Structure 1
Amino acid sequence: MVELISVVADGLAIVEAIAADQKSANPRLDRLDDEIVGALRKIYFTPDGVLSLLEKIANGEDVSVEEVERRLPQFNDRQWHVARALETLNFDKLSSRREVSLRRAEHLNQVRYGKVNIRADIQRLLNYPLTHNKRIKADKAAELLAKVRELNDQIGQLEEAHNFRARR
């Protein structure tokens, strides 16, 4: 997996680039921003989802196979919603719209790839105890948790930059 740091650019630079890109207050841009905000909110790792399970494992708490078996299907079931949201952030789709600069499309696409990679890593990590009947190592969970938090921070910054309603 490509490291998240190399996939997602520095959050401050992303927000500055998008803010500079949004000088116009035209309705087409507002609709586009609404689509992007909706997609970013759907790909955000929520605290009550798999993130809490990763935190438990990273903190060395004992997590049963039954708990993993209960959480993993919920995580997997969200894949369809996540996939639709990720399509919204696709570089080719965004760069074909004149309201979107290439830089902006690239930043959003980088977040898209970060989400895809981290989701796959989470699935592999959580499937490990089910297929090998072994505990998940706390350091592996902590490493993945750090990547999730980094991505969530990037998503939060981008969402804030695109969410003109929240800035009112």
Structure 2
Amino acid sequence: MIVREAMVDDIDAIEAVARASWETDYPAILSRETAREGVEEWYDADRLAAEIESDDALVPVADGGDGVVGFVHAVEDEAGGTILRLYVAPEHRREGVGGDLLDHTREVLAERGAEQIRAMVLAENEPGNEFYRRHGFELVEESETVIAATSYRENVYVSER
């Protein structure tokens, strides 16, 4: 398993990981229609390509040799850096992929000068919340995110450098 920066050729694989993750993790949180619309909006090919090519975004992927099995979408911002999303294909969870992606993202953001890293996760996504707590992030506030025109509670975690 290697962690590398995403390329435009990875877009379909990133979308597939996101779709599988949402279908596995969110059935009690989002309706199937909302999940489908959210994936289509957040992982649109043009939108992902722009993020991959942006100097202010970071989109590392975990490549298992057979293709992408996980990814992160992070941005540099006034807080230092924010992890907007981190997903691992359900069949590759509990293999350390998420931790490797998180470590890589933290290192790159720190190299870019981030003193603090924030991470966002839906409040009702208990496995996602537990992941960040297990990796030393502290819950600092709650915000809202919009998925397919509906607002959902989101937890904001912080890790200091």
- TM-score category by the smaller chain? under 0.3
Under a length normalisation based on structure 2, what TM-score does the superposition of the two structures give?
A: 0.25
Task: Tell me: higher relative CO, structure 1 or 2? Use CA pairs within 8 A at least 6 residues apart.
Answer: 1
Point out the structure with max Rg over C-alpha: 1
Higher helix share: 1
Higher strand share: 2
